[in-house]
Amino acid sequence: MINKVVKNAQDALKGAENGMTFMLGGFGLCGIPENCISELVRLGVNNLTCISNNAGVDDFGLGLLLKKHQIKKMISSYVGENEEFERQMLSGELDVELIPQGTLAERCRATGAGIPAFYTPAGYGTEVAEGKETREFNGKMYVLEQAFDPEFAFVKAWKGDTAGNLIFKGTARNFNPMMAMAGKITVAEVEELVEAGELDPNQIHTPGIFVQRIFQGKDYEKRIEQLTVTPKS
Amino acid sequence: MALSKQEIAQRIAQELQDKWYVNLGIGIPTLVANYIPKNIDVVFQSENGMLGMGTFPIEGEEDADLINAGKQTVTILKGGSLFDSAMSFSMIRGQHVQLTVLGAMEVSQNGDIANWKIPGKMVKGMGGAMDLVASAENIIVAMMHTDKTGQSKLLKKCSLPLTGVNCVKKVVTNLAYLEIKNDAFYLIERAPGVSVEEIIAATEGTLIVEGEIPEMKF
């Protein structure tokens, strides 16, 4: 079996340079590649275009890259929890493309699936559709949306094996599987790295073919954005 | 008396039908889950990748890997399932989800909705709202009838950037339950104790009032 293992985040990010386009998995702070983000901050690469559903919070996730002005352009669906993001966007320091969440997911999927473009009803008649081709199918209007072209995709899984197969947990799956398909180089960081053969092939969410580099992550904070509980009675 | 947010949610819950899959937006819509009518089964879809969303976890049992679309910690019910974002929006665009309930800043009399951006002031992003309103068969908007300055949110034409066009069919506000058709708002029910005149005064768009308008029942 092809071995995809690299030693750490530092080795996993070899070749990451200024001006590149990156995809980063996660929904809010759930399922984000914490180790890769820390390494991007350490490397100091800048002028980046980042494709990620959200932009982290002020002091965690992609917020760490924003604070250091490493991101030139952000492509997301929702950025409501980050004041620094909003400030940089409204002041024009940061270029932002906001796109519908389902369109974002499908554009990631299309990228990895060899589909250059597709029609979706989302955003028809809104500013999201401005400048884009529209077309009627069966009496309903659709907008043509295109695939991305990222150099790297950074994803985070619960378990992975040396062959690059990945299993996600809970709602930490979110954008990670489609982004894994889309990267020219896909880096997977995992909470638990095991030998090939130890994961049940029936349970694999992302087959190893989509993953170029995998490493055992460390020091996961897994911060909860909105803690909501039912009091013990 | 105008309805509280809880009562708006309670009135919307009366629209739920047996065996429906339902997506609830952030804010008032989330509260709808507290008022599911007895003897019907509905399943809540959370667009970040869950069917069968349950209540908030018991204190100490929260899991950072199990959240809803509002990023709140939740639980998953027996028979629930987990999936990725592309599959989640396949369910939504593919009309496998029967009802979407969401909030709005403005709704117009032709069913347009605006809820994601105030140019130059506030940009949160549309999240999944554009996919949801472009696809759902049934869309109910839950919102206050007027904004904080008293301006009507039910308009002839939306002034803010749109989230979707010609899509909203029902609106439940703190004052009324309205349906949208024939390029107008139709007043269907009043909040208990709220007069038709008050609703007319608070509605900028064309409002059709046909016959006696009953009060909501809870």
pLDDT digit of tens for each residue in chain A (233 aa)? Answer: 899 999 999 999 999 999 999 999 999 999 999 999 999 999 999 999 999 999 999 999 999 999 999 999 999 999 877 888 888 988 889 999 999 999 999 999 999 999 999 999 999 999 999 999 999 999 999 999 999 999 999 999 999 999 999 999 999 999 999 999 999 999 999 999 999 999 999 999 999 999 999 999 999 999 999 999 988 87
* CB contacts, 8 Å: B125 with chain A: 76-80, 98
Q: Determine, for residues B123 and A223 on separate chains, whether the beta-carbon distance falls below 8 Å.
A: no
Instruction: Fill in the amino acid letter for B65.
Output: D
For residue B190, pLDDT beyond 90: yes
pLDDT of residue A90: 84
The pLDDT of residue B121? 81
From B60, B93, B123, residue closest to A121, measured CB to CB = B93
A93: three-class secondary structure by DSSP: coil
Distance between CA atoms of B45 and B119, rounded to whole angstroms? 30
> What does the pLDDT read at residue A85?
86
Continuous segment of H or E residues that includes residue B196: helix B196-201
Interface test with B, best of A86, A91, A171, A227 (most B CBs within 10 A): A171
Does B36 contact chain A (CB < 8 Å)? no
Q: Do B126 and A90 touch (CB under 8 A)?
A: no
Asked if A126 contacts B113 with a C-beta cutoff of 8 angstroms, the reply is no
The interface predicted TM-score of the complex, written ipTM, equals 0.96
Chain A 194-233, residues with CB within 8 Å of chain B CB atoms: 205, 222-232
Reply yes or no on whether B47 is catalytic: yes
Q: What is the pLDDT of residues B43-72, one digit of tens each?
A: 999 999 999 999 999 999 999 999 999 999
Please answer yes or no on whether B48 and A90 come within 8 Å at the CB atom: no
B15 to chain A, closest Cα gap in Å: 25
